[in-house]
Amino acid sequence: MIVRRLGWLLGWLSLLLLLAPLGYACWLSFTPDEFLTPPMRAWSLRWYSEFFRSPRWTSALSQSLLVGGLAVLFSLATGLPLAFALARLHFRGKLIVFGSVLLPLVVPPVLLGIGLLPTVQALGLWGSTLSLAFAHALFGMPIVCWLTRAALVGVTPDLESAARGLGASTGQVLYRVTLPLIAPSVLAGAIMAFVLSLNEFILSLFLATPETETLPRVLWPNLRYSLSPLVAVASCITILVTSAGIGIVAWLLRARR
Amino acid sequence: MRVPDTSRHSFAAVFLAVPAMMLLLVFFAGPFLFLLRLSFCAPPAGHGFYQADTWTTLNYTALFADAYFHQVVLFTLLLALGVTGLVLLIALPLSLFIHSLPSRQKALAVAAIVLPKLASMLVVVYGLQAMLSSAGIVNEVLQAIGLVREPLRLSRNLSGAILGETYLLLPYAVLVLVVGLERIDAALVPAARGLGASPWQAFRRITLPLLTPGLTIAAQLTLAWALGAFIGPLLLGSPDEITLAVEVHRQTIENNHWPRGAATAASLLIGVVLLLTTSGLAIRWLMRRSTP
C-alpha cells in the first residue's frame, strides 16, 4: 500500500517536473524587475505592456497567426481529400501512401530545414509567408489526415447508404450526413495544425527572413544572447494558446465518443 | 455485399491524393534530393550559397579526413545513445504509471505530457535555462536546504545538453508507450495474477513482451531525434557540445558554406537511416530467437 502511494506521488511529481519549465517561464513573465527573478510579492504586467508596444514582437505575433492560418488552410486542402481516399477507397499502395504521409513527423527537422531553404529559393518562394505556411503544413497535413481518416472509419456505412436509399444524391450525403459527423475531428485536426505551426521553430529558423519572422524566430536570438523577461512574455502567450488548443481538441474528440 | 471496384477506385484515389502528394513531393522529398545534390556542389564563389551545375566529391573527402568531424560524429553518437537510454528509463515507469490511472486522471496526465511536446522547444529550453541558471530556482532550493554552498553550474555544459535533450524527447516516448499499453488486452494481467503470478512476474512475462513493439518504436523515434539533437546542445550546452546538427547549422547559416553543410547533413541522414534499419533488424532477430 505504502509502495503504491509512493509510486503515485512519484508519478505525479515527475509529470509536474515535466511541466515545470513551462510554468516557470509563465511565472517569470510577471516579474517587475529587469532580470529573470521570479516575482514573489510584487507581480507586474510591465513586460506585457512592453511586449505589446514593441513593433518587432507584435509584428512577429501577427505573422505567426497569419502563417498558422495559412498552414491550417493548406493542411485541410491536402489532408482532407487524402483521408477520404484512405478511408473509403481501395487502391494499391495504400499503406505506403499512409506511411509516407506520417514521415515528416519523424524526420529530424534540422535535416529538412537545410534542404528546404535551397528548394524554396529555387522555387522563387524565398522570403515569402507562403513558404513558411507550406513548410508548416508538412506537420499539419498528417494530423488532419490521421484524425479525419479515423473519424471516417468510425462513421458506419449504414448511415450513408440509408440516406442514399432515401433518395439523397452523393453530394447531399456528403454535406448532410458525412461532414456533420466528422466535423469535430476535422476541427480538432485544424486546431492541432495551427498549434504545431505556432510553435514550430527549426524550419522557420532556416526559412524566415527579417520580413517574415514568426514569434519563435524572434525568440531565438534573444534566447542565445540575452534572457530578457520579454521572452518569458512571448513564451507565456504561446503556452496559453497551446493549452487552450489542447483543451478544445480534447473536448472535441471526447464529444464524439 | 458490394464488391469494391479497384480500377475505378484507383482513379478516384489518385485524384484525391494528388494535393497531399504534391505537398510531400515539393516540400519534403524535394528538399532531401536537393540536399544530396547540394552536397556534391562546389562551394560558393563570391555570392550565393553554392555553384550550380558543378559536381565534386570534395565536400565528402574533406569531411571524412577532418579529425574534428570524427570528434563531432563520436559525440553525437554518444549523446544520442545516452539520451535514448535515459529517456526510455524514465518513460517506461512513467507510462506504466499513467496507464494505471483512472480515466479522468489519465486524461489529465496525457495532457501534461502533450503540452511540453506541443509547446515550442524554445520555450521549454528557455524555462530550463532560467531554472538551471546560477540564480535559478534549482540552485536556490539546493542552497536553501543546505545541499550545496555555492551555486552549481547546471547549464552551459554537458549535463545541460543531456538534460535539455531528455526533456525535449521524453514526451514522445511516453506517448508512444502509453498507446502501446492501451493496446494490450486489459484482462491479461489480472488473469496472470489470478493464476498465481507475482506483480513482477506478470509484468515480466505478460506486459513487457506485449509492449515490445511499442518499446521498439519509442526507442527508434527517440534515437532518430536524438541523433538530430540541435536545440538542447546549442542552447544548454557549451561550445564543446557540438553535435552534427549544430555543426550543420554552423556551416550553413553561420559560415555560409552550404555544400559542406549539406555533406554533413547527408552523412547524418544516412547515419540515421542505417542505425534505424540495423536496430530494427536486430530487434526483430532477437524477438524471433526469444519466441520459438
A210 to A111, A207, A215: CA distances (angstroms): 22, 10, 12
Are the beta carbons of A115 and B123 separated by less than 8 Å? no
Query: Of A198, A232, A223, which Cα lies nearest the Cα of A61?
Result: A198
Question: Cβ contacts (< 8 Å) between B6 and chain A: which residues?
Answer: 90-92
Are the beta carbons of A21 and B125 separated by less than 8 Å? yes
How many angstroms away from the CA of A253 is the closest CA of chain B? 12
Q: Please indicate if any CB of chain B lies within 8 Å of the CB of A115.
A: yes
pLDDT per residue of chain A (257 residues) written in tens, 0 to 9: 788 888 899 999 999 999 999 999 999 899 888 877 788 888 899 999 999 999 999 999 999 999 999 999 999 999 999 999 999 888 888 888 888 898 898 888 889 998 999 899 999 999 999 999 999 999 999 999 999 999 999 887 888 888 888 988 888 888 888 899 999 999 999 999 999 999 999 999 999 998 899 999 999 888 877 768 898 999 999 999 999 999 999 999 885 44
Beta bridge partners of B51: B42
| Residue B4 reports pLDDT greater than 80 | no
Are the beta carbons of B9 and A90 separated by less than 8 Å? yes
For residues A235 and A26, the answer to whether their CB atoms sit within 8 Å is yes
A45-256 CATH choice from 3.30.160.100, 1.10.3720.10, 2.60.120.380, 3.50.50.60: 1.10.3720.10
Looking at residue A95, what is its pLDDT? 87
For residues B226 and B80, the answer to whether their CB atoms sit within 8 Å is yes
Domain chopping of chain A, boundaries: 45-256
Q: CA A113, CA B273: separation in Å to the nearest integer?
A: 17
Q: Is residue B213 part of a domain?
A: yes
Are the beta carbons of B20 and A141 separated by less than 8 Å? yes
Q: What CATH code is carried by the domain that includes residue B158? A: 1.10.3720.10
Cα-based angle A97, A99, A103 (whole degrees, multiple of 5):
115
Structural domain of B140: 70-290
ipTM of the complex model: 0.90
First to last CA, chain B: 40
Q: Cell for A1?
A: 500500500
Looking at residue B6, what is its pLDDT? 56
Question: Cβ contacts (< 8 Å) between B109 and chain A: which residues?
Answer: 11-12, 15
A79 vs B20, B126, B252: nearest CB:
B20
A111 vs B21, B98, B265: nearest CB:
B265
Q: Is residue B272 part of a domain?
A: yes
Q: Is residue B56 part of a domain?
A: no
Interface of A with B in 84-113 (CB under 8 A): 84-85, 89-92, 97, 100-101, 103-104, 106-112
DSSP state of B152: P
Taking one residue from A and the other from B, the number of pairs with CB-CB distance under 8 angstroms is 247
Q: Please indicate if any CB of chain B lies within 8 Å of the CB of A28.
A: yes
Q: Cell for A108?
A: 529530424
Q: Least CA distance to B11: which residue of chain A?
A: A91
Question: Cβ contacts (< 8 Å) between A122 and chain B: which residues?
Answer: 34
Q: What is the pTM of this model?
A: 0.92
pLDDT in tens, B158-198: 999 999 999 999 999 999 999 999 989 889 989 999 999 98
